[in-house]
Amino acid sequence: MEILNKIDKLNQVLGSASPEDALEWLSQQPEFNVTFSTSFGQEDQVITDMIFRNDLDINVFTLDTGRLFQETYDVFDLTLKRYKKSIDVFYPKEEKVQELLTTKGPNSFYESVENRKECCSVRKIEPLGRALSPFNIWVTGLRAGQSENRSDMKRFQYDLKFGIIKFNPLLHWSLVDTENYLNEYKVPQNTLHRQGYVSIGCAPCTRAITEGEDIRAGRWWWETSKKECGLHS
């Protein structure tokens, strides 16, 4: 109950604050230990810029699944050079990846939703849990317009899976808002965005979308599902 009251208070205090003001306020509160997970997509690059440009006391980390696009590594490199700040990197456990590939091969995720979620669990969920464990506020780049599953989210909410308060500062931003910010501040961007990749994950699991397709259609494009890996379900 105490944590829910804290979340309600945060939504009241920061519900209408700008993302930049809200991040700065959180970074100044001694009761909060704040971290931000970036996958170097457009929304995440906005938040990274807000944190690094304002020198906020917020940890930044990323998950390297071992199957990312080279273009993702390129924007990672550009971001490090631009801001001269560190980004923590978390990898999946080697033995778990070895076990998965030994028993099911490198492409098992194409065979069923269950297999795909197993791969996501090994490569993303487990390392994410390790990355979040020292913190009590988790900042994400989620927007309500990214998928139907995210349309009823609140700015602050409790993440039951990881036992942490999740903060979605860009929740009510549109894609146009995001792009305008990136252009205004000349923030490094993944070149795949210009090739029709709106949502970018692991290379084998992501394709470009065509005009009129849902923004998440390019993720796990071979299956019909809720298009989530488990990080934000």
Q: Which of 93, 165, 97 is nearest to 130 (CA)?
A: 93
Q: Does residue 225 carry a pLDDT above 80?
A: no
Question: What's the pLDDT tens digit per position in 21-33?
Answer: 999 999 999 999 9
Select the CATH number that applies to the domain covering 2-190 from these four: 3.10.129.10, 3.20.20.110, 3.40.50.620, 3.40.50.150: 3.40.50.620
Q: Which residues pair with 206 in a beta bridge?
A: 219
Average of per-residue pLDDT across 206-221: 88
Instruction: Note the pLDDT of residue 211.
Output: 84
- Strand order of the β-sheet with 34-37 is 88-90, 59-63, 34-37, 137-139, 164-167, 156-159
Average of per-residue pLDDT across 40-56: 98
Q: Are strands 156-159 and 88-90 parallel, antiparallel or unpaired?
A: unpaired
Q: Which residues are catalytic?
A: 229
Average of per-residue pLDDT across 172-192: 96
pLDDT band per the 50, 70, 90 thresholds, residue 208: very high
Q: Which residues pair with 202 in a beta bridge?
A: 68
**First-residue to last-residue Cα distance in the chain:** 22
